[in-house]
A and B are shown apart, each in its own frame.
Chain A
Amino acid sequence: MKRVLIVHDDPDMVAALRLPLESAGYQVLEAGAGRDGLRQVAETRPELVILDVALEMAAACQVSLELRNPSPRSHYRAYRHIPILMLTPPHTAASLRSGTDEAYLPADDCLEKPLDPDVLLEKVHRLLE
């Protein structure tokens, strides 16, 4: 059973993610944003990380930046192959992806809220292929 770690600051959003993910047979783990998220990545070694970028944007980005661009001595270097799916506020995915921002988006894909569960599963399947 593949494990998906959801790093978030809103339990209701986790509930919305959990429904489609669990019915598609994934094991859902959760962690708070920031350091807790990073610790959980190391402890649970999930196959995929979903980052919910809500108010705690900085904390969420800390997780993805640390995983994507670890310093040579970073403890998290071993986990940089783990794909990251970023949940973004409505109408922001396009601007996050366009132009210069692309270089700074430390995620493999993003998904706009509100969530379309079918699109979520499609993206998760693709990232785990």
Chain B
Amino acid sequence: MELSRVLVSLADNAAMSLKVEAAAVCLLDESSRRLRVAAVHGLPAETLNRAPQDIHACGLEREALAGLAVLAADERQELLGEWAGENLRSGLCIPLVHEGKPLGTLGVYAAQPARFCREDASTLEPLAELGAAAIAAAQALAELKTMELQQAQFIRIATHELRSPVTVSQSLVRSVLKGYAGAMSDKQAEVFTRISRRLDLLETLINDLLDLAAGKAAGAAKAEPVLLNASIGRVVLLLQPRAEDKGIRVTFQPHRGQLIVRGTEDGLDRIFVNLVGNAIKYTPTGGAVAVSVQQKEGQAQVEISDTGIGIPEQAMPELFKEFYRAPNAKQSGEVGTGLGLAIAKNLAEQYGGRIHVKSSEGRGTTFTVTFPLIDPNGLENPLGSILFK
């Protein structure tokens, strides 16, 4: 629950359980030296706009924060402080403490003098205990959300700051390479071609790193039911031209039924662009790549097989590590960042999935990705919401 709702409900419950007209929840700020009125019941809303006050100025609350329930009756009117201005003549205030840490106070107030007694404090205490736990949980959640926002913001800025110089350099080099800055000697053209290739690799590297960071930052929070066939079909279509250029046959066998898994379209696309892309990249001309989607043992299973260069046995344990590339992959002359499989594994696991690999060097590789299936009958709006959004 959101912090504001926790606080209001706490004030309401306190007033109702003691059948009095007014209640207030005050929270300590980070310095633990000032108190802010955070929620009220039966008091003017302006009370909430009061500037935070030094705890020494809040008699009743200050004494409560010392650890005990405090009564303000006729003989201790001065303790009511600002509350007296609201025509309140008596009050009872108890500390809100969670795991030994004071968070603030819960107070109930009445116009009737000497309205409260010790038993009332006992009534309020369990409520305060529960309230303090709820406040601590809500505060932790709010902090987590702020951190997530900050991380997303950082990634956005980093994306721009890292990409911008690279894309501008690429644009300049391409203009020169295509002869728009005048004719070049063969040697100059060779140098510029090398620069261009390294810049392209740098761009891919930046995109991959940011994908990895963005994936880790987003977590599984944004996952929703998605159709597996559709995602893989999209990726196969996207990569088909690349395979054709290289003279590789790609076949796709979708599952006849609709398999629904938990993920994001973008995330699933990234997983399969990496796996199918690798299969095409590391399969020589004339080879074949087969992609299939099946249902097995209550799970969705995607298989990507190729007749490519394969993965040496000693490379297997390192395969999914960031920046690792198998020696034969490096020698193949294909450029790569060594991040694709790390990204794919990271994303698959976020969606509750697993990636397995079987390979024989020189003969080919099969990657198998499994995801837990979602029962379409369990969805609020079965398929409709996925198909027609």
Contact = CB atoms under 8 A, between A and B. Distances in A.
Contacts of A23: 180
A114 B180 contact: no
B332 interface: no
B168 A20 contact: no
A19 B180 contact: yes
Q: Is the interface of B mostly helix, strand, loop or mixed?
A: helix
Contacts, number: 59
Interface in B317-370: none
Contacts of B160: 54-55, 89
Nearest to B159: A89
Contact of B178 (A10, A15, A91, A118): A118
Which of B166, B169, B170, B207: most chain A Cβ within 10 A? B170
Given A115-B174, A115-B175, A20 B167 contact: no
A41 B180 CA distance: 26
Contacts of A3: none
B169 to A, nearest CB: 8
A112 to B, nearest CB: 9
Contact of B175 (A54, A89, A91, A117): A117
A16 interface: yes
A115 B174 CA distance: 8
Given A90-B203, A116-B174, A10 B168 contact: yes
A13 interface: yes
Contacts of A45: none
Contacts of A13: 168, 171
Contact of A114 (B167, B178, B181, B207): B167
Contact of A54 (B164, B170, B176, B207): B164
Interface in A56-106: 89-91
A113 B171 contact: yes
Contacts of A43: none
B163 A117 contact: no
Given A15-B172, A16-B171, A90-B207, A117 B164 contact: no
A114 B39 CA distance: 53
Contacts of B174: 16, 114-117
Contacts of B199: 114
Given A20-B180, A90-B203, A113 B175 contact: no
Contacts of A129: none
A10 B175 contact: no
Contacts of A12: 168-169, 172
Interface string B198-229: 01000100010000000000000000000000
Given A13-B171, A90-B203, A114-B170, A20 B178 contact: yes
Contacts of B171: 13, 16-17, 113-115, 117
A80 B168 CA distance: 29
A113 B178 CA distance: 16
Given A12-B172, A15-B172, A16-B172, A117 B178 contact: yes
A8 B258 CA distance: 47
The 4 A-B residue pairs with the shortest CB-CB distance, nearest first, are: A114-B170, A115-B171, A16-B171, A19-B175
27 contacts: A10-B164, A12-B168, A13-B168, A13-B171, A16-B171, A16-B172, A16-B174, A19-B175, A20-B175, A23-B180, A54-B160, A55-B160, A89-B160, A89-B163, A90-B203, A91-B207, A113-B167, A113-B170, A113-B171, A114-B168, A114-B171, A114-B203, A115-B175, A116-B174, A117-B174, A117-B175, A118-B178
Interface of B: 160, 163-164, 166-172, 174-176, 178, 180-181, 199, 203, 207
Interface of A: 10, 12-13, 15-17, 19-20, 23, 54-55, 89-91, 113-118
Given A12-B172, A113-B168, A115-B175, 9 more contacts: A10-B164, A13-B168, A19-B176, A20-B180, A23-B180, A89-B163, A90-B163, A90-B167, A113-B170
